[in-house]
Amino acid sequence: MTRTKTLLALSVGIVLLATPAWADFRMERRLALEPGGMFTLDSHVGAVTLTGDSTSGATVTVTSRRDDFDELFDLQFEEAPGRVTVTVKRRGSRLRGFWSGDWFDDNTHFVIHVPSQTAVSLNTSGGSIEASRLTGRLGMHTSGGSLRVEGVDGNVDGSTSGGSIRMRDVGGDVVARSSGGSIDILGVRGSLKATTSGGGIDIDTVSGELYASTSGGGVQVRGAGGRVEAHSSGGPVTVRFAPGNGRGGVLSTSGGGVRTELDPSVALTIDASSSGGDVDSDLPVTIQGRVASTSLRGNLNGGGAVLRLRSSGGGVRISATR
């Protein structure tokens, strides 16, 4: 089957509202896409809401408060076997959009419905992205807003240069990167890598390995099911390991204290030190080395994987999981 490519003319599928409720421009397009296919959006502008809920076919609705949207942007839809691609490009110089502020507001909004069994790639330069109810892999990037994910049974790779990240109920591995906001994640059944330079990190229930790093806030982890690396230069680090988790890791901060909660029955080798406070443990660690009250090296239940704890901005506290 040959690849078909449709370039929408301004008069096709456009509805201009004389007295809009909120949009001066509206376009809706339905495209052929069966479950198991791939959907891609690459846009110079706009916020995005994508939901996996149809049995077949993709529906794309574009709204904008700008009545001159059709003068500023070209919309291109491509349909091929197992694939749909939507491209929105600014006409003329991209600097025009930068100086007018079109990239960084919510004047344009894409509402997209696809089959739940769809691999999705979303890229926008102008707003937030929300995605939910998918069973395929999800990639998402925005230069101008937040990321929101819920109910995705697949791997997720998300990055933003201008906002926070919130994810709930992800069945695969997750990568979450932000240059300008906090990260809040709950329920990851794979591994997780979360990094930000602009806020705190709050994580609850991750089954696999976890890496979290921030230079703009603290790190708090609850229900860590695998090895943990958690680092902060802007706040405290607190990690609660799940029952039975003796995989160890590295917890460090230069902006506060370090606190960890462990299952007292697991076997670990503890290596803890602080230049900003005391090191205290409620667990029966067999001490191999201790310098005053600022360091502790020893074994829990005979030793095992290494758990290294470092703080230069506060104390270190080791206690039993509650």
Model confidence pLDDT, tens digit, residues 91-119? 875 545 444 444 444 489 999 999 999 99
Residue 5 belongs to a domain: yes
Asked whether 269 and 306 are in contact (CB, 8 A), the reply is yes
Residue 82 belongs to a domain: yes
Q: How far apart are CA 137 and CA 97, in angstroms?
A: 31
pLDDT of residue 66: 86
Task: Specify the number of domains making up the chain.
Answer: 2
**Among 289, 292, 293, 291, which Cα is nearest to 281's?**
293
| Same domain (yes/no): 17, 138 | yes
pLDDT of residue 24: 87
| Same domain (yes/no): 132, 253 | no
Boundary-marking domain end, from 111, 145, 179: 145
Q: Which residue has the higher pLDDT, 318 or 255?
A: 318
Q: Which residue has the higher pLDDT, 313 or 95?
A: 313
Residues 6+ apart with CB under 8 A from 93: none
Boundary-marking domain end, from 129, 145, 161: 145
Residue 210 belongs to a domain: no
| Same domain (yes/no): 119, 238 | no
Residue range of the domain that includes 303: 218-322
Confidence of residue 4 (pLDDT cuts 50, 70, 90): very low
Least confident of 130-139, 151-160, 188-197, 270-279: 270-279
| Same domain (yes/no): 8, 137 | yes
Residue 188 belongs to a domain: no
pLDDT of residue 291: 61
Q: Are strands 295-300 and 279-281 parallel, antiparallel or unpaired?
A: unpaired
Asked whether 174 and 210 are in contact (CB, 8 A), the reply is no
pLDDT of residue 71: 86
Confidence of residue 74 (pLDDT cuts 50, 70, 90): very high
Least confident of 93-97, 111-115, 134-138, 268-272: 93-97
Q: Which residue has the higher pLDDT, 99 or 199?
A: 199
What's the chain's average pLDDT? 88
pLDDT of residue 54: 82
pLDDT of residue 119: 98
Q: Are strands 83-90 and 73-80 parallel, antiparallel or unpaired?
A: antiparallel
The reply to whether the predicted model has a pTM over 0.95 is no
Bridge partners of 165, per DSSP, are 147, 183
Residue 294 belongs to a domain: yes
Measure the CA angle with vertex 166, ends 101 and 45; round to 5°: 25
Average pLDDT of the residues in 196-207:
95
Query: What are the φ/ψ torsions at residue 118 (nearest 5 degrees)?
Result: -135, 135
| Same domain (yes/no): 232, 130 | no
Encoded amino acid at 200, one letter: G
Q: Which of 52-56, 91-95, 167-171, 313-317 has the highest mean pLDDT?
A: 167-171
pLDDT of residue 13: 34
| Same domain (yes/no): 137, 268 | no
Residue 129 belongs to a domain: yes
Confidence of residue 23 (pLDDT cuts 50, 70, 90): low
Residue 152 belongs to a domain: no
Q: Which residue has the higher pLDDT, 291 or 141?
A: 141
Q: Which residue has the higher pLDDT, 8 or 79?
A: 79
Average pLDDT of the residues in 2-20:
33
Q: What does the block give as tokens for 255? A: 């902006």
| Same domain (yes/no): 17, 106 | yes
Average pLDDT of the residues in 121-138:
95
Boundary-marking domain end, from 120, 145, 170: 145
In the numeric block, the tokens 């590295």 are attached to: 250
Least confident of 26-35, 49-58, 63-72, 245-254: 63-72
Residue 154 belongs to a domain: no
pLDDT of residue 93: 57
